[in-house]
Amino acid sequence: MTFQTPHQRILGGLYGSLVGDALGVPVEFASREKRKLDPVIGMRSHGAHGQPAGTWSDDGSLLLCSVESQVEKGFDLQDMGERFLQWFELGHWAAHGLVFDIGNATRQALLRIRHGIPASEAGGRDRYDNGNGSLMRILPVVFANLHQEESTFITRIAQASAVTHGHARSQMACIFHGLVVRELMQQTTPYEALYKAQQIFQRLYSDNEELGTFRDVLREDLVSQPEIHIHSGGYVMETLKASLWCLLTTDSFSDCVLKAVNLGDDTDTTGSVAGGLAGVVYGFDAIPAEWRLALPRHQDLRELFARFVETLVQTS
């Protein structure tokens, strides 16, 4: 890997998330078997949601709302939740002003915010509320808190998850992801980053009843797991494991994100989370220009991300 500045890694993570999401949108819900017959190799139009090529889904929109909230209000859960609601009701930060996809847990949380429940308490806390809807948008919160002490870092990630997903498993999945990203930002390899994150995570949650749920991502041999053991549905633990596996078993941004999308099923979110991780590792310049340029709202994205990076510089 070539040296990447923190700026390049942050932009790589943000754009990588959007690109991975957009690559997956046209083929969402299709099976892995179909992808083997017709693999995704670049941006497509129409498909599952009838959208133009480069369109991001709820994953990208909520990630962008998170970035904007961090820029304008700092760490403010209520503001974050209200921006999510603006997306749901008005298409705020939708790629083309249209909301065409939303998970059940996220929908229910946003309806609670609409009816006056504080955003900090809006996310479902049932064991069935463990979809990947908070993991897909957590990266900006991780970036914004990289220089906080460990207790603040993990608490803020957990609180941000709880706006839509309040069960401990979803919160811990976001924290695990955040620990990996924090290590990757230190120029460590994906293998080293995962190992260090595993050690920290096990120390933090050694007595937590949810720790057993994380056994697959705590395995030393995750990289050697066969594809048949990598599931890519909407369950948060599947997305976390699949995105890490794709990162560990490839050596470029393109290979990682295409591998993720071609796992099938919840292609946009697996692609988005894997794309975010790969973007952090390989940097902004590693994202193929034709994929990045297929994204809509170029100027809006450039301005928002520039403001975000400037905010991080000021607070570091």
- Please spell the DSSP secondary structure of 176-219, one letter per residue: HHHHHHHHHTTT--HHHHHHHHHHHHHHHTTT-TTGGGGTTTT-
Residue type, 126: D
Residue 4 CA to residue 81 CA, distance in Å, equals 32
> pLDDT in tens for each of the 316 residues of the chain?
667 899 999 999 999 999 999 999 999 999 999 999 999 999 999 999 999 999 999 999 999 999 999 999 999 999 999 999 999 999 999 999 999 989 999 999 999 999 999 999 999 999 999 999 999 999 999 999 999 999 999 999 999 999 999 999 999 999 999 999 999 999 899 999 999 999 999 999 999 999 999 999 999 999 999 999 999 999 999 999 999 999 999 999 999 999 999 999 999 999 999 999 999 999 999 999 999 999 999 999 999 999 999 999 777 6
Residue 111 CA to residue 263 CA, distance in Å, equals 32
Q: What are the structural domains of the chain? A: 6-40+52-315 (1.10.4080.10)
Q: Which H/E stretch holds residue 153?
A: helix 150-161
Q: Enumerate the β-bridge partners of residue 131.
A: 235
Q: What pTM does this model have?
A: 0.97
Q: Enumerate the β-bridge partners of residue 230.
A: none
